[in-house]
Copies of this chain bind each other. A is one copy, B any other.
Amino acid sequence: MTNLKPSDKALVPFVSVDHMMKLIHHIGVEPMLAGLAEYIEADFRRWELFDKTPRVASHSEKGVIELMPTSDGDVYGFKYVNGHPSNTAEGLQTVTAFGLLADVSNGYPVLLTEMTMLTALRTAATSALVARLLAPKGSHVMAMIGNGAQSEFQGLAMKAICGVDEIRLYDIDRAATAKCAANLAGQGLKVVECTSAEEAMLGAQIITTCTADKQYATILSDNMVGAGVHINAIGGDCPGKTELAPAILHRAGIFVEYPEQTRIEGEIQQLEPDHPVTEIWQVLTGQAQGRTDEKQITLFDSVGFAIEDFSALRYVRDQIGETGLFHPLDLLADPDDPRDLFGMLQRARG
Question: Which A residues contact B (CB, under 8 angstroms)?
Answer: 4, 6, 9-10, 14, 16-18, 20-22, 24-25, 29, 51, 53, 56, 58, 60, 62-65, 67, 69, 71, 73, 76, 78, 80, 82-84, 87-88, 90-94, 96, 98, 100, 102, 104-109, 114, 116-117, 120, 147-153, 176, 179-180, 183, 329-335, 337-346, 348-350
Whole-angstrom distance between the Cβ of A175 and the nearest chain B Cβ? 9
A4 & B24 in contact (Cβ 8 Å cutoff): no
A330 & B149 in contact (Cβ 8 Å cutoff): no
A179 & B90 in contact (Cβ 8 Å cutoff): no
Which residues on B sit within 8 Å (CB–CB) of A78?
67, 80
A114 & B332 in contact (Cβ 8 Å cutoff): yes
- Could you tell me the distance between the alpha carbons of A92 and B336 in the complex, rounded to whole angstroms? 9
- Could you tell me the distance between the alpha carbons of A56 and B25 in the complex, rounded to whole angstroms? 36
B338 & A94 in contact (Cβ 8 Å cutoff): yes
Which residues on B sit within 8 Å (CB–CB) of A76?
58, 65
A98 & B149 in contact (Cβ 8 Å cutoff): no
Most chain B beta-carbon neighbours within 10 Å: one of A17, A180, A343, A344: A17
B339 & A148 in contact (Cβ 8 Å cutoff): yes
| Contact partner, A82, options B18, B108, B335, Cβ 8 Å | B108
A333 & B106 in contact (Cβ 8 Å cutoff): no
- Could you tell me the distance between the alpha carbons of A329 and B17 in the complex, rounded to whole angstroms? 9
- Could you tell me the distance between the alpha carbons of A64 and B64 in the complex, rounded to whole angstroms? 26
A84 & B56 in contact (Cβ 8 Å cutoff): no
| Contact partner, A105, options B14, B60, B152, Cβ 8 Å | B60
- Could you tell me the distance between the alpha carbons of A104 and B153 in the complex, rounded to whole angstroms? 28
Given A56-B56, A82-B102, A108-B82, does the pair A343, B183 have CB atoms closer than 8 Å?
A: yes
Most chain B beta-carbon neighbours within 10 Å: one of A24, A71, A151, A333: A333
- Could you tell me the distance between the alpha carbons of A7 and B147 in the complex, rounded to whole angstroms? 24
B341 & A149 in contact (Cβ 8 Å cutoff): yes
Given A65-B107, A179-B340, A179-B343, does the pair A334, B92 have CB atoms closer than 8 Å?
A: yes
Which residues on B sit within 8 Å (CB–CB) of A94?
338
- Could you tell me the distance between the alpha carbons of A17 and B80 in the complex, rounded to whole angstroms? 22
